Chain A
Amino acid sequence: MTRSVSIRIALVLCLTLASSGCGDNTAAQRIRIGMLPKLVGIGYFDAAEKGAREAAAELDIELIYDGPADARHEDQLRIIEGWNALGVDVVAVAPNDPEGIAQTLRSVSDSGVRVISWDTDANADISRRSFFVNQAEDSAIAQGMVDLMVAARRQKGLPIAGPYLIVSGTPTASNQNSWIRLMTEYIADRYPEMELLPHLTPGEDQREAQEQTATALNAHAELNGIWGITSVALPAAARAVMDADRTDSVCVTGVSLPSLMREYVENGSVQSFLLWDVVDLGYLTVQVAARLHSGGIQPGTSDFGRLKNIEVRDGMVILGPPMVFDSDNMDQYDF
């Protein structure tokens, strides 16, 4: 008896809920934008969320910001498919696997949803994504990192020639991979005396990054410098160098957040590093999404909300040149 009663109650609840949703559909709808980071729970993407929410409030649109707990692309697939059914108008995704996600993005865009990528690009041809919101030109980031390393070496009066190591994130992350490629080319071109060791891919695991860097430091006694090219890898690499007491001989730089790097810049193990305004990146992404939905985006230079003179070309919306962070300007940013 209890069984049938409970099932009946549940059925009633179910129908009530179902019908309650229907009312919403007739009201004037705000634009729904779904923004998907690589993963949730690291400072970089939390900062992006802040900017995104700011833009959403400004434009009065509904923003859904959600991501997987681990940097897995299957979870991203599930979320995107869910958003499709939920009826989002634009999907903005930072894919963990640019190829793996491509088909899904394409089928989603076939059903009428606009797709853009941010922070990392998806395979543009297959996925048919409309735009890629890029924090900076890949080449600018790559060259910037190399230049910073050279500057750091020179400042300490150390030679440029010798072995260097790049510590990346997951093996499939296309933004990191394209930076690595461009760095390699730039070095071959400009600083051929720099020798690049095979890069490490500890994933987004800070402990793993630290351990692998420590091992690499042991393996190569004359290591000149380490680039940590994700927000997780750089502080981990800096700590590994500190633990090994080799801050005088090994220069560390790369890409990370000021909040994570504060300690290392203060004690001098890292001189400067590269980043961009992550909050602005999130802000821009939402702005682009909204404008895409309501009209379209033309190539050239235009303003997006409070960001002026943003360049749009070749399917990319570029935030601007990368910024160098050092002890002078770090405190002005709180991400």
Chain B
Amino acid sequence: MADQQHLPDQLPAAAAPQSRTAARSWSARVLSLLPFLLLLLSAGLIASQVRRPAALLTTWVPWIEIATIAVSMTPIVMLGGIDLSVGSAFALTASVFAFCLQTGTGTLPAIAIAVMAGTACGSLNGTLIARGSPPLLVTLASMALFRGLTMSLFGGERILVEQSFQLPGPLQLRPQYYLLLLVLAVLQIIVHHRVLGRWILATGENRTAARIAGIPDRRVDLLCYATCGFVVGLVAVLNVMQHNVAVPDAGLGMELQAIACIIVGGTVITGGRGRISGTLLGAAVVSSLDIALNFLSTRFPVISLESRMIVTGILLIGIAVSTQRTAGTHPE
């Protein structure tokens, strides 16, 4: 005699496990395929307009940077948190790096200092959040703080770097590509094949339960936010090496773009579920869509800036709707 009184409010949802797939309507299925479809469509559009395919590799570099940051932010979102300060941390570490180089520090020490600065930014977030402050509040504050530090410490000026760095790498790919691959590989292993990943997902799903079950949830917080800061530092270093300049208003809006990549990739913003590879897909979709629409607008001026923005916003919401719909069927 089964007990029916255990989940009174959740019962209607839990009551029909076998009819789950049948219950997903046609529209829900289309919506869940939307990212793939968009990706393919955009790829086709880009391919149809491009005349210098080799230059596409450099076209994607700014998006690769955003993708790297989004991927490193994914564990945070899986944890049920959020980090609005990545853009400002990016600007701060870039300025620190450029400043070090400008004042004569060697390249490697400068890189080390910049990366440490990035990790410090992430650790500040992680420490406060581990102690119980809401992530939205903390990262809103650190967003302003880091940006403020960038402006105040360096006088709101851009910092020029004299040295030029030749880092083409094999296959003529910019180093940002390799960084993305590295970060992707490391995080994929950690989140999906290491115990820490299990900890992250458990903490995101139900923090109290995770804590009582013996997961060191505070350590997990600190690790995730610090790692994100670390990666942001690396990305900023590569960016400065490419452009030879650190700009005080770098990274504005980067956090929102990263969140968009994560959402389109299927990770739920409330945490407990998600895939690292999903964020890569999300970044691919967002970037190709942007580039494809830009290309299209050169052919069809009616696809102007405003319509591109409207379309992007609608697609984001559409994909968010579908992410919510699939909640509860695939935990990991």
Contacts and interface: CB of A to CB of B under 8 A. Distances in A.
A14 B59 CA distance: 20
Interface in A148-163: none
Given A66-B305, A86-B295, A102-B245, A18 B48 contact: yes
Contacts of A18: 43-44, 47-48
Interface in A268-326: none
B51 A11 contact: no
Interface string B229-252: 000000000000011110101111
17 contacts: A2-B33, A6-B30, A10-B40, A13-B40, A17-B48, A18-B48, A21-B47, A22-B48, A69-B309, A81-B60, A84-B52, A85-B56, A85-B291, A99-B244, A99-B247, A103-B242, A111-B52
Given A78-B62, A82-B59, 8 more contacts: A14-B41, A19-B48, A72-B249, A77-B62, A85-B50, A86-B52, A97-B245, A111-B55
Interface in B14-66: 26, 29-30, 33, 36-37, 40-41, 43-56, 58-63
Given A40-B305, A107-B58, A21 B40 contact: no
Interface of A: 2-3, 6-7, 10-11, 13-22, 25, 40, 62, 64, 66-67, 69, 72-74, 77-79, 81-82, 84-87, 97, 99-100, 102-104, 107, 111, 126, 171-172
A7 B33 contact: yes
Nearest to B158: A99
Contacts of A81: 55, 58-62
Interface string B297-314: 110000001000100000
Contact of B33 (A3, A16, A77): A3
Interface in B149-205: 156-158, 160
A190 to B, nearest CB: 29
Given A77-B62, A86-B50, A10 B294 contact: no
Nearest to A18: B47
A97 B40 CA distance: 35
Contact of A86 (B29, B290, B298): B298
A3 B297 CA distance: 30
B160 A99 contact: yes
B58 A21 contact: no
B89 to A, nearest CB: 16
